[in-house]
Amino acid sequence: MAVRIALSALTVTLFALGAVHAQTVDSKEKAAAVTEEGGKYFDAEGVPTFNIQEDGTVDWYTYSGYRRYHGECHVCHGPDGVGSTYAPALVESLKTMDYGTFISVVASGRKDVGAGKESVMPAFGDNKNVYCYMDDLYIYLRARAVGDIPRGRPPKKEDKSDAAREYEASCMEG
């Protein structure tokens, strides 16, 4: 009887955890752009997101994220965020990783040790080629994670906004 009660409690706990997990999975609907500021789009929660037009034109930040990803991240995480034998697929990780966690991991790094395996993500908080473009990286990988853009270089992009130029100049100088 005690085993049955324990198993029932475990089942309820796992179900509840599964329900919570399901609520945190990103989707096209959740990632939908609802506001725009200086060429950067945001979802209903104010999180940076992508905007892809019907003809396939991507916003500047998605395009910039693609370029920055392939300049700094693809060596470990594989082309287009699909992963490698060395590092996980970010298109999978971003389905359940929130914006704040992403920024924290990229800036501070992460170390996982377990089952005789060590996994290390180096910190990029001092690398301006990453730090100044963390939103761009997030936006690109988010678009890939929810399936809104295919693999490869986006064929069309919006022009770079004045706000993006100003931010980039101030970040790279500082």
Tell me, what CATH number does 148's domain have? 1.10.760.10
Instruction: Identify whether 17 is part of a domain.
Output: no
Instruction: Identify whether 4 is part of a domain.
Output: no
Instruction: Identify whether 54 is part of a domain.
Output: yes
When comparing pLDDT for 90 and 114, which is higher?
A: 90
Instruction: Identify whether 155 is part of a domain.
Output: yes
Give the domain extent around 121.
27-173
Q: 115 and 57 in contact (C-beta within 8 Å)?
A: no
Instruction: Identify whether 169 is part of a domain.
Output: yes
The count of domains in the chain is: 1
- % of the chain at pLDDT higher than 70: 84
> What is the model's pLDDT at position 120?
83
Enter the pTM of the model: 0.83
Instruction: Identify whether 8 is part of a domain.
Output: no
Vertex 27: Cα angle to 19 and 143 (nearest 5): 145
> What is the model's pLDDT at position 1?
43
Instruction: Identify whether 36 is part of a domain.
Output: yes
The pLDDT tens digits of the residues spanning 115-171 come to 667 778 889 989 899 999 999 999 999 999 998 898 989 999 999 999 999 999 999
When comparing pLDDT for 117 and 106, which is higher?
A: 106
Instruction: Identify whether 98 is part of a domain.
Output: yes
Classified as helix, coil or strand, 26 is coil
Please state, as a whole number, how many other Cβ atoms lie within 10 Å of the Cβ of residue 149: 19
C-alpha dist (Å) from residue 94 to 5, 7, 100, 156, 164: 36, 32, 11, 24, 24
- Transcribe 116-158 into DSSP letters: TEEEEE---TT-HHHHTTHHHHHHHHHHHHTTSS-SS--SEEP
